[in-house]
Amino acid sequence: MKLYKTTILATALLSAFSVTHAATSDGKRFAVSAGWLHVMPQGEKQGISGSTTKQTPLLGERSVSSPGAGFEVEDADTAGLMLDYFVNDNVSLELVLGAPPEMELSGHGTIDLPVVGQAADLSKFDKIATTDAYTPTLLAKYHFGSINNKFRPYVGAGVMYAHFSDVKADPNVNAELNSNGLLAILKPELGKIKVDDAFAPVAIAGFDYNLNQNWFATASVSYAHLSTTAKLDVVGNTKLIGKDIPRATILKGRSEIEINPIVTYVGLGYRF
């Protein structure tokens, strides 16, 4: 719902500007381009903290802290769509959309568990989980030179809204948890994983190359200062004896994730 509200708001802002008097010298207010986005996260693991729960017969309620462990987001590619409204020859407002890429979260370090003296080695996995990332972005850009110039560099800034959905754990992680000695008695497996939504400031630089009066090629590089929190539960058996063994959350954990993506874009556009 937050994603839809943000997208609708951004679209409404662009629509509001479109009813004002156009001040471009050639009368063309709008531009649209489509192309390819390459997302390169720059952040690092931030450590995992959490606690075991009172349902855990072997561990009891204890804190868990593994500062050397965490998650990192891997590179991804997706299709992009840029919608521009030109306030005048040099200033434009841009809404950046794209097909949500499937982002992979890799693991680093080990999660240490108290009492049992066991640890889950996250470094064994290139993929701990996957998530779809929706990142609509609203930018204000300044284009240098005349609107009729072939080559027009620009700079800009704005805000990104990041929404993460359909988070899925890799089944190989559960196999690793169940191979860990005393910990395997609980038959643990990753339960619910959630990555929080977040807003991030964005800076962009790029250029348009006018092929003719309507068509142009475009390329840009942007940076978003984006961080979020991943929350995960480990579920397992809560009784060691008995035919009916209930399963419940035995460990709650969280990890701060720096994403800070550098995003490159190349595309082909049309002004009208």
User: Residue 49 belongs to a domain with what CATH number?
Assistant: 2.40.160.20
Query: Is there a domain that residue 58 lies in?
Result: yes
pLDDT of residue 8: 47
In 141-234, alpha helices (H): 171-177
Query: Is there a domain that residue 218 lies in?
Result: yes
Residues contacting 204, CB < 8 A, separation 6+: 139, 141, 154, 155, 156, 157, 158, 220, 221, 222, 223
Q: Does the pLDDT of residue 255 top 90, yes or no? A: no
pLDDT of residue 64: 67
Tokens of 118: 């066991």
Task: Taking residues 204-217, report their average pLDDT.
Answer: 96
Sheet strands (E) in the chain: 30-40, 45-52, 63-66, 70-73, 76-86, 91-98, 102-108, 110-113, 118-121, 129-134, 137-143, 151-169, 189-195, 198-210, 215-224, 227-237, 247-258, 262-271
Query: What pairs with residue 36 in β-bridges?
Result: 79, 266
Element (H, E) at 18: helix 2-18
Query: Is there a domain that residue 105 lies in?
Result: yes
Query: Is there a domain that residue 28 lies in?
Result: no
Give the whole-angstrom CA distance, residue 110 versus residue 67. 9
State the residue range of the domain holding 179: 2-11+42-271
Query: Is there a domain that residue 35 lies in?
Result: no
pLDDT of residue 90: 95
pLDDT band at 258 (very low <50, low <70, confident <90, very high): confident
pLDDT band at 206 (very low <50, low <70, confident <90, very high): very high
CA 268 to chain centre: 25
Q: Does the pLDDT of residue 114 top 90, yes or no? A: no
Query: Is there a domain that residue 192 lies in?
Result: yes
Tokens of 265: 């874009």
Pairing type for strands 198-210 and 215-224 reads: antiparallel
Give the whole-angstrom CA distance, residue 67 versus residue 237. 27
Residues contacting 198, CB < 8 A, separation 6+: 161, 162, 226, 227, 228
Q: Does the pLDDT of residue 166 top 80, yes or no? A: yes
- Mean residue pLDDT across the chain: 80
60 versus 163: the higher-pLDDT residue is 163
pLDDT band at 116 (very low <50, low <70, confident <90, very high): very low
pLDDT of residue 20: 46
Task: Taking residues 210-218, report their average pLDDT.
Answer: 96
Query: Is there a domain that residue 83 lies in?
Result: yes
Structural domains in the chain (count): 1
Q: Does the pLDDT of residue 132 top 60, yes or no? A: yes
pLDDT of residue 127: 80
Query: Is there a domain that residue 21 lies in?
Result: no
